[in-house]
A and B are shown apart, each in its own frame.
Chain A
Amino acid sequence: MVKMTGAEMLLECMKKEKVSQIFGYPGGVVLPIFDALYKDPSLSVVLTRHEQGAVHAAEGYARTTGEVGVVLVTSGPGATNTVTGLADAHMDSIPLVVITGQVPTKMIGNDAFQEADIVGISRSCTKHNFLVRNIAELPRIVKEAFYIARSGRPGPVLVDIPKDVITDRGEFRYPETLTLRGYNPTVQGNRWQIRKAAQLMAKAKKPVLYVGGGVIASDSHGELAELVALSGIPVTLTLMGLGAFPGTHPLFMGMLGMHGTYAANMAVHHCDLLIAVGARFDDRVTGKIAEFSPHSKVIHIDIDPTSIRKNFHVDVPIVGDARLILSDLLEDLRKIRDEEGLTPLDSWHRQIEDWKEEHPLTYRKDPEVIKPQFVIEKAFDLTGGDCIVSTDVGQHQMWTAQFFKFLTPRTWLTSGGLGTMGYGFPAAIGAQRAFPKRRVLAVTGEGSFMMNIQEMATVASLEIPVKIIVLNNKYLGMVRQWQEFFYGGRYSSSFIGQSPDFVKLAEAFGVAGFRASKTDQVEEVLLKGLSTKGPVLMEFMVDPEENVFPMVPAGGSNVEMIFEAPPQPKAGKSGRREKDAVITA
């Protein structure tokens, strides 16, 4: 048996788990691990410039590859800086293993230098976490961490390793199997329930498939496509589900919910059967829950039993892996088709086409002022959709979700559940590391971008060719939109016109920068930016007061969509910006 240090053991464990990429930041107690990494060329480390960036990068890596993202940071502030990323991954079911250093076992609880109770702090924002208490249990815990992170409903797992465990020596034996008597996720769906679901689907006159990120996590987009081809059931996707079904398919209705399409929200409201697959009836999807899909029977397929009946009633719950369940469902549905036939959906399709025509996704074009939606449309046209796109959070995120047509799964990275500004750019870095040859776009706003702007140093130093699109409207746009609609146009703390010159800033970091200020410059800047080698920042000075439509006001029913700003008393508007400028100055 080989004796090795805890640090070396950790790296051996990672290799057994087929890890090749780590995102991290060194510090005191993890120095022995970074030293071991220095000697071991099989594991590559991306040094981000902030631990939060490392976690989001690992999320981007995990979401695009389907593998577990790995983060390595030090104790204390290194560990606490991962908390937002952990919470983000927890909400969006992203498999991560985050390794944090800890002060030596004997000093835990003594308020030692750079000590933080990260196991306590992260308990509610991880799927599970561990404190390794001696070197003997290190391999088992790492194995369990990877297994828990990627199985069932995926999520982040934190492993806290004290300094003395890192430096101790022990015999390395990686367990072949593991026994977690309290953890045994259901993967196979109940056959009887599936049959019931198939019968409902065969009989429904106005069915809708409401599909979320679970279909991407379980790689069941193929089964979904077959199911739609067989049944003709129209599809709406959640924000997390985009890419699970081609955005250009005639039976695709667009995203649903607060900024969903008119057709999708109308269809969900009027359907007689709602088939939720890997979605969790989030409040941004349902709007006023009492008026959500009021006429439908509900089938809910999810791997997490707690998702079922958490927010919404269900008639046929099916717990398990979406891929297995959808293929069973296909089998049953084919049988019904052959024996009894399926209900034709022609009039339902016509109804949906009418809704699509009644209120398509649209915006007012302008020959002078750049419309943000136009930038997204152009980016889609110029790339043919063949790229990975990440976003931050806010208006630009919704416009990208609406106007970029995602064609394949694992090409769309966004912070859905937690809504983390600062997610997108580092996530794009992770995606680009996973796919060095693919084109990766990070769409962001000047507000979100500032929250992890330090990662420009990361892309510059490692020549990670992420293409950053900053839609600069000089406001925290979504906040401003809500203030315009619901707070009498009082733009409190939402004006951020004093942002730095992003093009100059990019250049200072060593990133190429371009700017477009007029509509006719958009295509030129995009072409220039996309064809420039290495990391690029493209700043688009867009209409400051453009809004995201349609919109369901918070707490409203999904059929109460608005398509223009509600009438506002315009008094005081002229003095507003000046005042805001004073506040922000």
Chain B
Amino acid sequence: MDITVNILLTIATAATPLLIAAIGELVVERSGVLNLGVEGMMIMGAVGGFGAGYLTGSPWIGLLAAIALGAVFSLLFAVMTLSLATNQVATGLSLTLLGLGLSGMMGTSFVGQPGARLPNLDIPGLTAIPVIGRLLFGQDPIFYISIALTAAVMWFLFKTRTGLTLRSIGDSHTSAHALGIQVIRYRYLAVIFGGACAGLAGGHLSLVYTPQWVENMTAGRGWIALALVVFASWRPWRVLAGAYIFGAVWIGQLHAQAFGIPVPSQLLSSLPYLATIVVLVLISRNKRLTMMNTPASLGQPFVPDR
């Protein structure tokens, strides 16, 4: 029983950074902006979070630093693509490259240092309940944030007027502009929210997952988050499902490798990617629903004629 609980806990830990980064990017893409710099913003969050935690000794300060650094880094993307109307794909890719390089440079003195780790939740009486106690009341704080964030984004997008406005901008920025909606302002806020989420996801890696700084430690998770958004057809609960399927198969194949199952390890390592894509493709078979949820103006620069 304990083993099962442990496995479930590791799955949650593996899924959390994907979920947070993907939910942030989902909001960005719903506003019609494609930011391919998730990996770059995430690694900046990771190095910033570790650095601030290491230097101050407080993982909580580290957490705030991770969010702030991700947001500031995304602001760079926002200025380029929204105010200067540069190509979003090229700008996003360079943001990733810049983030990977810059974080490596910033982190040289952190390599091999012991970092601060965010403590797991411990509520007297509740956490000690067998099985469900640790699952529900004994995880790291960012796990709870990720679940709350998903619910909040779902509520925001589909239940609030501001969310409706954001979706309308993603559907057609020219129509939105014609109605007098401040397209650029909304997109700035969406991009910065996405950056803050990516930063937080990076902070999870260096403050919870492996509390140390390793160069390039995001290891492609930003790209997986990006793919999750598309395969989840821009719907929050599917992003959640996708992140957890990925996490589950990821942990499962690690255990399988440890058991020495006679399957090439490369094949096992590719399983999480395959399984996630297959499942998400299957649940988004309904073309009509997918069309309705796809932001039609995604990736197109908006320049109002004046």
A, B from the same assembly:
no
Interface residues of A (CB under 8 A from B): none
